[in-house]
Amino acid sequence: MIHVMRDGQQFGPYTIEDINTYLAQGALLPTDQAWYEGAANWMPITEVPGVVHGAAPVLAAPAVAAADPMAVANPQVAAAEAGVAAEAVGGARKKKFLIIGGSVAGVAAIAGVLLFVYPGFLKDDETAEGGGSNGGGASGGGQNFAAIVEPIFKRSTCYDCHEGDSAKGSFDLTDSASVQEAITAGDPDGSELIVRLTDPSDPMPPEGKGDMLPATDVQKVKDWIAAGAQF
């Protein structure tokens, strides 16, 4: 019976027939060291009596993979190889999970930034503009005076007469308290501001100072009031 050593690790023992078969298959190498009972020292495996180096390779059956003789002869080697294979599979799965987890975290981070910087990015254009024909004011929710009403009045001539200390009728569009006196939050039709914007007999702006606001702009002001008239 012959013991084999490679890189300081011993395998076997093998019969002389096993040695020749494994050498022919390439599982054992001519540089492997060998020892058998009665030998004085370890020697190259090709110097063991009966070892035939260079014999024709023994072909394995096509459907069956050739077993590793080192692993077969030494259960510790087989266990180590199985552990390495399992670790490789586990590492590949872990890497896949890390990639998937990183992608999900990236998408969540981008969505969080968008929600923080622009909370209304999920709304449609009509909702964001506060428009709509519903006098209930649901579409104007969350929109303040500066975003909805001020641009409308500035496109008209309202600020010509109702701005600052010289504002006519003590109605100052630049003073939120003054504007609040002319509206009833939640009740656009009962607000003095809407009455003045829609009364052709006493229009605002007055005759000679510009045209009355179009119905679409008036509706936006009404929606803003119905939604709570936020400043």
Q: What is the pLDDT along the chain (231 residues), one digit of tens a residue?
A: 999 999 989 998 999 999 899 888 888 999 999 999 889 899 998 989 988 876 444 444 444 444 555 555 555 555 555 565 556 556 556 555 556 666 666 667 776 666 655 555 444 444 444 444 343 434 444 589 989 998 999 888 888 888 887 788 888 889 999 899 999 999 999 998 999 889 888 878 887 878 888 999 999 999 999 999 999
C-alpha to C-alpha distance for 172 and 87, rounded to whole angstroms? 76
Q: How do 33-36 and 43-44 pair as beta strands?
A: antiparallel
Q: Please, is 230 exposed, middle or buried when counting C-beta atoms within 10 Å of its C-beta (0-12, 13-18, 19+)?
A: middle
C-alpha to C-alpha distance for 27 and 62, rounded to whole angstroms? 18
- Retrieve residue 58's tokens: 């023994």
Could you write out the DSSP letters of every residue in 92-115?
A: HHHHHHHHHHHHHHHHHHHHHHHH
Q: Do residues 28 and 4 touch, judged by C-beta distance below 8 A?
A: yes
Phi-psi region of 194 (alpha: psi -120 to 50; beta: other; left: phi over 0): alpha
Residue 203 has a pLDDT of 79
Q: Give the domain ranges of the chain.
A: 2-70, 74-122, 125-226
Residue 224 has a pLDDT of 92
DSSP state of 173: T
Residue 194 has a pLDDT of 92
How far from 106 is each of 98, 100, 115, 116, 175, CA to CA, in Å?
12, 10, 14, 15, 45
